[in-house]
A and B are shown apart, each in its own frame.
Chain A
Amino acid sequence: MDFTDTPAEAAFRAEARAWLASHAPAHELPAGIKIPDTEEADRGRAWMRELFDGGWAGLTFPKALGGRGLSGIEAVIFAEEESRYHLPKGPFTSIGTGMALPVIAKHGTDEQRARFIEATLKGDVTWCQLFSEPAAGSDLAALRTKAVRADDGSGDWIVNGQKVWSSWAHLTDWGILVVRTDPTVPKHKGLTFFVVDMKTPGIETRPIRQISGMSEFNETFLTDVRIPDANRIGAEGEGWACCMTVLMGERLGSGAHRSGVEPLVDYAAATPDGRGATMLDDRSIRLQLAEALADERGLNHFQARLRTMVSKGENPGALAGMVKLGYAGRQQRVLGLGMELRGLDALAADPADTFTPDLQYDYIYSTVMRIAGGADEVLRNQIAERVLGMPGEVRMDKDVPFEQLK
C-alpha cells in the first residue's frame, strides 16, 4: 500500500502539470456563466485537439491504435492534474473516447479503426449515443428500432425507429447505434451495432425539455435512414456484446472528481445560523456533512483499489457498479442537505450569489445520475447477482422470440 507517487509517477505528474500550466488556462470555461451549448461543444473540440497535439490523448488506448498505451494509474494522475482547471469536457467528448472508441477498437474492422480512432482522439469527430428508447431503458435489449437490408442489392441497411436520451445528438457528428435486425430470435440475440453519420437524411433530433430547464438530451427519430454495411460494427446479431463493451466503459470511469462535499462545508460556514455563529456550528449539519465526507473519501479510495486491480490485470466486473451507485445516491442527499442548511435563501438567491444557482441545478441534475448508465435498482441487482452470487431475476422473455413478446 502506497498512496504516494513512485519516482516514475512523480516525473509523469510533473510533466503533465507543466504541460497543463502552459496549455490549459487558455481553454478554461468562464466561472459562473452559462455559455451556449454550441460554443461549449466547439471549445470541447479545441481542447481535444490541444490534448492530441500535445500527446495527451488516448492515454490508456493501445499504442498500435494511436493511443499512448499507458497504465490506468497514469491516466488517473493526468485526470487529477487536469481537474485543477475548469475545462470544456463532457458527454460531447467522453462518449467518443469512452464509448465509441472502445467498441470500435474491440469489435471494428481495421478500416473502421483507421477511419474513426484518430479523428475522434483529435476532436474532429464527436459522438452521441443512440441506445435508449421510450420503451427500452434499463431493459435496453427490449429496443424496437429496426434495421432491414435495402431491397436494391446494395447491402445497405434501412433503419426506422425512435431513440431517446441521446446527449448532444444535435451537435455531434456521428452516433453509436444499436438496432434490432432479427425479431425472430430472443431479444438479446437479434441486435446489431452501427455507427451512423448524424447528417444522414431521415435523422431528426428534437430537444427534450428537461426538468432542469436545459435541453442537452434529445429524442432522435430515424425514418428510412440508410446506413452502408461498412458502418456495421461487429457481426449481425453481435450488437449486445458491443453494448456490453460500451457500458463497461461507462461504469469504470477514469476521472478524478473534485470533492462534492467540501464546497458545502464552505457554504455552511458562509451561512449565518441566527445565533451569532454559522450553520457549520449546527450539530445536525456537522454530522451529516462529516458522514458524507467519509463516504466520499471511502468511495474515492475504493475506486483507486479498483484501478489497482485493473493495473494488475484483474477484472473488477460488477464491483465497478458500486462506485456509481454510491456516488449518485450521496450526491442527491448532500445537495439536498446543502439547500436545507442555506434556509429560504436556497430557493431564490441574490443575483450576486453564483453558488446557489449551481447548487439548485445540481440538485435537479442529481436525479439523472441515479438513472442514467445503470439505474440504482439495476446496479443493486447486478451487485447482488455478480458479486454476492444471489439468484438472477425471473426473466419471462429470455428464450422467447422477440416478435412473440407482448
Chain B
Amino acid sequence: MDFDLSDEQKMLAEQARGLLAERTPYDNLRKLIDAGAEWDEPLWRELAEMGFLGANIPEAFGGLGMGELDLGVIQQELGRVNAAVPFFSSIVLAADAIRLAGSEAQKDEWLPKLASGEVIACFASAEGPGPLLGQGASLDGGKLTGTKQPVADAGVANLAVVQVGDGLALVRLDQAGVTRTRLDSFDQLRPHYRIDFDGAGAEAMPGRGLLPLLLDRAAVQAAFEAVGASEACLEMGLAYVKERQMFGRSLSSYQAIKHKLSDMAVANEVAKSNAYFAGWAAEASPDDLPAAASAARLSAIRAFEMAARENLQVHGGIGYTFEANCHFYYRRERLLAVNLGNRGYWADRLLDALPGAQGKAA
C-alpha cells in the first residue's frame, strides 16, 4: 500500500505548475476576456510541445502512454490557474471517447492528431435545458441531424465527438451542414456554442453503451481540475486575509475567518484524497471506478463550491471587481458543477455502486 503520488508524478506536477505559473498570470486571463478570445492559443501550443496533450494517449497513437493519475496531475495544475484551453474537451472527453469506443482506423486517424494538438475536438451531448445526454439528434446513413448546445470549445475545434442515443459519432466541423453559433457564455474563459447539424457527414463509433464509463473517467479528471482550483482559491483567500488589516489587526487573526479557511482546507484534502483513489481506480481497479469516480466528483464539487464562494467572500467588496481574481474561479466552479451531470446523477451512481445495491431501490 502506498497512498501518495510517485516521485515521477510529483515531478510532472512541478513541471506543469512551473510552466503554467509563468504563462498564465491573471492579467492574461483578463486580456483574453476583454478580447473576447476563444482560447489561450500560445499556451495550447506550449502544452502540446511539452507532450502534455498526449499524456494518457497510448504510445502507439503518438502519446506518452502515461496513466490516469498522470493526466490528473496535469488537470490539477490546469485547474489551479484556470487555464483557457480546450484540454478537457479535446483530451479528457473526446480523445478518451475515441479510445474507448472508436475503431482501430478511427483511433489511427485521430488520436495522433489530438495528441499533437494539430486537431482539437469538442464533445457535444446536451440539447438545451435538461439532461447532459440529449436524445433528439439522429444519425441515419452517415448523416447527422439535430442541434447540440451548449458545446464547450466548439469555436476552436475541427472535430466533434457527438453523443447520439447511447452511442458516439465523429463529425468534422469544417463541412457544409454544420453551423456553429457562439453563445454568451457564463465562464468567460470557455466559450460555448450551439451546433446545428443538418445532414452533416458523420461516422459512428463502433463501441456502444460506453457513456457511463466515459463519464466516470471524465469525472475523475474534472475532480482533479476542481481540486487544483480549490487549492488556488484557498491560497488566494489566505494571502488576502493575511495582508488585509481591519479594526487594527490582521483580518487573518479573526476566528470567524480562521474557521472558514480551516473548513475549506479540510474539504480540499477530502476531495484530493478521493481524486487520488479514483485516479488509481481508473488505472488499476475498474470494479472500484463507478463508486470512486462518483465520490471524487461529489466531494470535489463540494470543496470547489465552498472555496470559490468563500474566497470571494473574505475578499469583501474588492472580490466583486473585475480587477480581483476571485471571479475566474467563481464562474469556473459552476462550469465544473454542471458539465458532467448534476449532483443527483452522481449520487445515484455512488449509491447504486454499493455492494448489494441492486434491488434495493428503483
- Cα A201 to Cα B266 with chains together (Å): 47
- Say yes or no for B116: interface residue by CB 8 A criterion: no
Which listed residue (B262, B266, B273, B351) contacts A301, Cβ 8 A? Answer: B273
Q: Are B354 and A388 in contact (CB under 8 A)?
A: no
Can you list 23 A-B pairs with a CB-CB distance of less than 8 A? A1-B2, A2-B284, A3-B1, A3-B277, A3-B280, A3-B284, A4-B285, A5-B1, A265-B360, A269-B360, A278-B360, A278-B361, A291-B302, A293-B354, A301-B277, A305-B3, A308-B4, A322-B265, A385-B258, A388-B238, A388-B265, A390-B252, A394-B253
B-side interface residues, number (CB < 8 Å): 58
Q: How far is it, in angstroms, between the C-alpha of A278 and the C-alpha of B351 when the chains are bound?
A: 14
Binary interface encoding of chain B residues 334-362 relative to chain A, with 1 for a CB under 8 A from any of its CBs, else 0: 00000000011011101100100100111
B255 interfacial contact with A, CB 8 Å: yes
Render B240-261 as a binary contact track against A, CB cut-off 8 A, 1 for contact. 0110000000101101011101
Once A1-B6, A390-B252, A391-B250 are accepted as A-B contacts, the answer to whether A384 and B261 lie under 8 Å apart by CB is yes
Q: Which residues on A sit within 8 Å (CB–CB) of B257?
A: 390
A28 interfacial contact with B, CB 8 Å: no
Q: Mark A270-294, 1 if CB is under 8 A from B, else 0.
A: 0000000110110100110111011
The interface residues of chain A, by DSSP majority, are classed as helix
Which one, B90-98, B140-148, B291-299, is touching chain A?
Answer: B291-299
Residues of A within 8 A of B242 (CB): 389-390
B residues bordering A, Cβ < 8 Å?
A: 1-6, 9, 69, 234, 238, 241-242, 250, 252-253, 255, 257-259, 261-263, 265-266, 269-274, 276-277, 279-281, 284-285, 291-292, 294-299, 302, 343-344, 346-348, 350-351, 354, 357, 360-362
Bound-state CA distance A326–B263 (Å) is: 9
Complex: A303 Cα to B186 Cα, angstroms: 37
Name the one of A73, A298, A389, A390 contacting B295, with C-beta atoms under 8 angstroms.
A298
A358 at interface by CB-CB < 8 Å: no
Bound: A149/B122 CA distance, A: 80
Given A293-B295, A388-B265, A391-B250, A73 and B1 contact (CB-CB distance below 8 Å): yes
Contacts of B292 in A (CB 8 A): 297
Q: Which residue of B lies closest to A379 (CB)?
A: B262
A380 CB contact (under 8 Å) in B234, B259, B350, B361? B259
CB of A318, distance to nearest CB on chain B (Å): 10
Q: Are B263 and A304 in contact (CB under 8 A)?
A: no
Which residues of chain A (250-281) have a CB below 8 Å from chain B?
262, 265-266, 269, 277-278, 280-281
